[in-house]
Structure 1
Amino acid sequence: MRDPATLGDMAALRAEIDATDKALSALLAHRQSLIDRAAEIKTGAGLPARIKARVDEVIANARRNAEAEGIDPDLSETLWRELVDWSIRREETVLGQE
């Protein structure tokens, strides 16, 4: 990742945004594979897709991580709630709980 202060024009800035978006997509793909594995494990363990304590923990982690990185924790919570809800819907499909 390049320091934004070193990006002298919009072309360089846009290229860095595009590279960052690509990296985020790769991380989301990895997270999706982890969710798929969680659904497999939950199937064998008889666990539900939504485990409230874990949802609360993930959201608290997202807020804490945002604060540590100097970004708006409310934005982070909003994004993570959507990500968690999507993940749970994906698990419910695998678990036949939809």
Structure 2
Amino acid sequence: MTSKKPADCETKEDVRVEIDRIDQALIALFAERHRYVTRMAQIKTDPHEAYDPVRIEAVIGRVRSRAEGLDLDEDQAELIWRTLIDWNVNYEKGIIVARRRAE
């Protein structure tokens, strides 16, 4: 599928097609990222390991810096990543707890 630059979109439908294309790529990337989160949960042995504030703040710092470099609102990017990280922490904890109960 060929993509158009934002300035080349002449109709709302043109813009929607591009947003749908990007959404498809994003969901594939989130699915790939989720597989790594799942693997991390398999490697960790204690549910408290799921929450690593030093690592989280380092990730948020990089996200904010990258967002700024791409002319994206850093606060919006941070909110998205904090939501993703919070979900991942709870997901990891659940996997670790369930595995420990089964042992």
TM-score computed with the length of structure 1 as normaliser: 0.89
The match for 1:32 is 34
Q: Are 1:23 and 2:25 matched, yes or no?
A: yes
Q: Tell me how far apart the structure 2 counterparts of residues 69 and 2 of structure 1 sit (CA, whole Å).
A: 18
Q: Percent identity?
A: 36
How big is each residue's C-alpha offset from its partner over 1:36-67, in whole Å with a ceiling of 9 and x where there is no partner? 01111213xx5711111111111111101100
Does the alignment pair 1:55 with 2:59? no
Q: Give, in whole Å, the separation in 2 of the partners of 1:65 and 1:42.
A: 28
Q: CA deviation at 1:2?
A: 2.9
1:87 matched residue in structure 2: 88
Gaps of 5+ in 2: 99-103
> Residue 101 of structure 2 aligns with which residue?
none
Q: Distance in 1 between matches of 2:51 and 2:22?
A: 30
Partners of 1:65 and 1:40 in 2: CA distance: 29
CA-based RMSD of the aligned residues comes to 1.5
Moved more, 2-11 or 65-74: 2-11
Tell which structure's C-alpha radius of gyration is larger.
Answer: 2
- In the alignment, the residues of structure 2 paired with residue 34 and residue 2 of structure 1 have an alpha-carbon distance, to the nearest angstrom, of 32
TM-superposed deviation, 1:3: 1.0
Runs of 5+ unmatched residues, structure 1: none
2:20 maps to a residue whose letter is: D
Q: Secondary structure at the match of 2:50?
A: coil
Letter in 1 for 2:97: G
Query: What TM-score comes out, normalization by structure 2 length?
Result: 0.85
